[in-house]
Structure 1
Amino acid sequence: MLDKLPEDIFYTLYSYLPIEDAARAACVSHGFLRSWRRYPRLLFNNKTLALEDTQYKEDKIASHFVNQINHVIENHSRFGIKVLILQLYPCRYIHASYIDKWLQIAVKHGIDELALEMSILEKRAEYNFPSFLLSNEKGGATLESLRLTSCAFHPTTTLGCNRSLTSLYLSFVHITGEELGQFVSNCTALVRLLLYNCNDIICFKVPTMLHHLNYFHVTQCKMLQVIEIRAPNLSRFDYGNGRIQISLGSEVKHIRIIGPNTLCYAHAELPSFMPSVQRLIVESTCEVCAMFIPFRYLDISVVDVQQLYYGLDYFCLFSFLEGSPALETFMLRVGTGNLLRRDSVLRDLEKDQLHLRQMPDCLHHNLKNVTIIGFTSAKSLIELTSHIVRNASALACMTLDTARGCGRRTANVDRCQRMSEKGLLEAQKALEAVKRCIEGIVPSSINLKALEPCGQCGC
């Protein structure tokens, strides 16, 4: 019945099928088999090539990939390919000539998305991506998304302007700062730029204005020393590279900083080059400092790496609140390895020696929502919580979650992260600490929620 549909409608319906379903349909229907030669989205990986983990030995994996991809691409009409994704992670020794052939067949005028993702294993020979395919005479005129992993990419000035490219992602890619800066300057529609572990970049400067750039992510580029771009509409900047010279020429409002000692970096650098930030996410380890930035949302992830768990004084985090008078939402994510706290506040309670530190004249008039995920019975964390309750006059909701990875309460995971027996015991101690130290000072106007691990967290 479907075979009797008008050809243009038939091809349109077929184009929406995932590649696995399209392949199965081609096996049972002459019409679908005919359409397979014009299928627009080609995705090749372990799943689509039906490669089970134990099906092939290592020396046969590349051969299987080559044979299957050759069969599809060589029998394709070579017209109408919109998406080509080559996820060649299992192939350490695949020959460059095969990849060159596939790219040259598929990357033509009309392609929208191109991804080449290769193994990062050191034994694999480096593949040099043929940058001439991105010229306007080839696929550069229509390409919107380019994603490269573990290869060399050396674009030349002869490529011209890539007016359609909106997303560029480079991971473990060998490219110099000069090459990247020149290439990006010709991507006049670029919206997203992501760089990860590109260690040949020392100085990244873009000579032209990037009017559409909205999201810029750069992490683990170990040699990077200078970033200079002008992006007036940049709204989010993710950064994790240590202290370098940064000039973005814009009023960034959302910043995420990743890595060790990043709290003090935020204190030292953010006020000077990003005075308009409103939302800050910091992922750090064992260090605190004071700062003054007018942001409204603060998300801090801290990992207490000391084996005896005396490394981090959580109470010192009050300095972030003190230095952020416009702050409305504060989220603290605590990672301590699901072990018992040696600095538990319950020890002082048992000895009737409880004394919680307080900071006088430190009111937080705009703070409304506070969430602490991975809440423990650490005395300094109880002190911080008590300080917030006593000084946040507008506080409406406080959530103390003793299970850091509970899938029932975490939107970005679909199952719970298993907690150890000591972790579950520490969660119970944390709940007891809330009952004995926090509940009695919480006004009725504040919705206090102390959450325990669910039934799946300890399975």
Structure 2
Amino acid sequence: MSESAYAPMLCSKFLFLRHLSIALIGAPFHPTYDYLSLSSFFYAAPSLETFNLNVWQRYMKNVSIFADPVDLRQMQELHHHNLRSVSITGFSSAKSLVELTCHVLKSIISLECLTLEAPQSCVRCSDPGNKSGKCSPLALDILMEGHRAVMAVNKYIEPRVPSTVKLHVLEPCSCHAVDRQISCLS
């Protein structure tokens, strides 16, 4: 069984837009919209080459793919021929974000690079300018969501990545190891 998503579509209004960055930081969506509705930007901007999305939320307000793993919704299949690079910072296990990413992989035929960055510290121990050599502290709920995001990528995204697309997954730093006794799905 497959379910189609409703997302208001933008008409081609941004004909010459080549680079688009959207930041939805801690902002809840109206019930009619979710992350998948952002796909309308791809078709409103046919010249788009790069798309960067920052979706960091301290407390995820969206349903996790692990809480509702049944049938991923699909958008109308339209192909985009110019978009080469998509980056999602704050990638989480939100079902509609996984659906958006799957839509990107299916409909952006020119895609060369997909970067998914799980929630993590803003300062990492491996950063060149980090003199302390330690990551900034990370709350347990953010760390757990970071690991759930990586699990969502492994289960739902990686199997759909075409051989022509380079997938980069930025996981939480290894210095933020999760106790093996704590379930990542709790």
Query: Shorter-chain-normalised TM-score: which range?
Result: 0.7 to 0.9
Give the greater-gyration-radius structure (CA): 1
- CA 1:361 to 1:289, structure 2 compared with 1: closer, same or farther past 3 Å? closer
Q: 2:142 aligns with which of 423, 429, 437?
A: 423
SS in 2 for 1:380: helix
RMSD: 2.8
SS in 2 for 1:345: coil
Deviation at 1:419, TM superposition (A): 2.5
- CA 1:346 to 1:297, structure 2 compared with 1: closer, same or farther past 3 Å? same
The answer to whether the Cα contact below 8 Å between 1:341 and 1:376 also exists between their aligned partners in 2 is no
Q: 1:331 aligns with which of 52, 74, 89?
A: 52
Deviation at 1:340, TM superposition (A): 4.9
In the alignment, is residue 432 of structure 1 matched against residue 147 of structure 2? no
In the alignment, is residue 449 of structure 1 matched against residue 171 of structure 2? no
TM-score (norm 2): 0.76
- The alignment of Structure 1 onto Structure 2 pairs a total of residues equal to 163
5 Å-filtered alignment, 1:302-381, equals 302-306=24-28, 313-337=34-58, 339-340=59-60, 343-349=63-69, 354-381=70-97
- CA 1:416 to 1:364, structure 2 compared with 1: closer, same or farther past 3 Å? farther
More strand by share: 1
Aligned-pair identity in percent equals 37
- CA 1:398 to 1:409, structure 2 compared with 1: closer, same or farther past 3 Å? farther
> Which structure would you say has the larger RCO, counting Cα contacts within 8 Å and 6 or more residues apart?
2
SS in 1 for 2:66: helix
5 Å-filtered alignment, 1:2-401, equals 290=10, 292-293=13-14, 294-306=16-28, 313-337=34-58, 339-340=59-60, 343-349=63-69, 354-401=70-117
**Deviations for 1:293-327, whole angstroms, at most 9, x for unmatched residues?**
12111111002334xx8866011100111111111
Measure the CA separation in 2 of the matches of 1:409 and 1:395.
31
**Deviations for 1:405-430, whole angstroms, at most 9, x for unmatched residues?**
4434998x858553210111111111
The answer to whether the Cα contact below 8 Å between 1:310 and 1:343 also exists between their aligned partners in 2 is no
- CA 1:423 to 1:456, structure 2 compared with 1: closer, same or farther past 3 Å? same
Measure the CA separation in 1 of the matches of 2:168 and 2:125.
13
Unaligned runs of 5+ in 2: 1-7, 178-186
Measure the CA separation in 2 of the matches of 1:289 and 1:456.
42
- CA 1:416 to 1:378, structure 2 compared with 1: closer, same or farther past 3 Å? same
Unaligned runs of 5+ in 1: 1-287
TM-score (norm 1): 0.33
Deviation at 1:432, TM superposition (A): 1.0
